[in-house]
Amino acid sequence: MIIVTGGAGFIGSALVWALNKTGITKIFIVDHFGKNDKYKNLVSLKFEDVFDRDDFGHMVHDGFLKKNNVEVVYHLGACSSTTELDVNFLLRNNYEYTKFLCGHSVDNNVRFVYASSAATYGDGLRGYDDNEAKLNELRPLNPYGYSKQIFDLWARNEGYLDKIAGLKYFNVYGPNEYHKGDMQSIVSKCYKQIKETKKARLFKSYSKDYKDGEQKRDFIYVKDAVDMTLFFGENKIVNGIYNVGTGTANTFNSFVKPIFKTLGIKENIEYFEMPEVLCGRYQDFTQANMDKIRKAGYKKDFTKIEDAVSDYVKNYLDTDYPYLA
C-alpha cells in the first residue's frame, strides 16, 4: 500500500497517475480540498480511498500505517504559495505535520519521501548544491521557503536524513496544476493569455543583470519530476536531500515561445510590473546541481523544454480534457 499526501494536488496527482501507469492502484490519497477544483485531478485516476488531511493525522496516531501494511509515504502535501505570509499557518501545515508523519513512518519502517523546495536556496548566491552539510548557509526569501528549510534542518539534526529522502523541487510545470491560481506555471497562464489576446505577459526585470524576460529558472516538466520521485520510493537505500530539476536554466522568454509555435501564433510578449508582494522575494535565477542524483543512480534524460511545453499545450491545455488520464 502506498500513501500520497497532497494526492489531489499538482505533483501528487501526477504521481498517482504515474503509479497507475505501472499498474499500481493500491494507493491512499490524503489532501485538504477546500473550495477549489483540484478534485478534478482525481477523476480519471485509480486508488483505494481518499482521506482528509486532518483526519488522516488522527488515523496515523492510531496505528494506520502498521495496520494497513503501508510501504511508502510520499509526503507532497503542503501550502506551496510563495506569497503566503502567515508564518504560523506555514509552520503548522508544512513543518509540524511533516515532522509528525516522518516520525511515524520511520518508527513503522515505512519509506518516507517528502517534498522540500528550491525556494530554500533563496537568491542563489550560495549556490544550488544539495549538500546537507551546507543547509545552514541557505537564506530563503519567503516564509514558504523558510517552512521547508527548517524541516530539512530538523531532519538532518535529528538524524533522519540517513533514513528518508527529501526532494528539492525546482520550477515544476505541466498538467493538473490548474487549481493553483496565481501559483500556476507561466505556461499555463500564458496559454490562456495567448488564446484570448494573442500575446503573453511576463514580469519586467528589476535586476541590472537580466533584461525583461531574460530571468532564468530551472523549469522541469511534471512527468520528469514524478519519475525522479518514484526513483526514491523504489530505492530505499538512497537517502538524504536531492535536487529535482534538470540542471539547465532557461529564460522565461524561451519558456513561453514554444506556446506560440505550437499554437501557430506569432510571438508577442508584453512585460509588466511585478506585484509588490514579490519584490525582494523573487528568484531571478535557479539552476539545480544534478550531480548528486546522478551519482545515486538516476540515469534517465530530461525532456527538452521545447518538447515538454509542446506536449503540455498540444495534448492537455489545448484539448477538451486537460488532465492526466
What positions carry a catalytic annotation?
A: 144, 180
Cell numbers describing residue 311: 506536449
Cell of 264: 501557430
Burial environment of residue 321 by CB neighbours within 10 A (0 to 12, 13 to 18, 19 or more): exposed
Q: Is 97 exposed, middle or buried (0-12, 13-18, 19+ CB in 10 A)?
A: buried
Cβ atoms within 10 Å, residue 3: 25
Hunting for cell 530539476 — which residue is that? Answer: 245
Query: How many whole angstroms from its chain centre is CA 187?
Result: 15
Q: Which residues sit opposite 221 in a β-bridge?
A: 173
Question: For residue 36, what is its C-alpha cell?
Answer: 477549489
Q: Give the dihedral of Cα atoms 40, 46, 48, 53; nearest 10 deg.
A: -30
Cβ proximity of 77 and 30 under 8 Å:
yes
Torsions phi, psi of 297, nearest 5? 115, 5
Length of the chain, in residues: 325
Retrieve residue 4's grid coordinates.
500520497
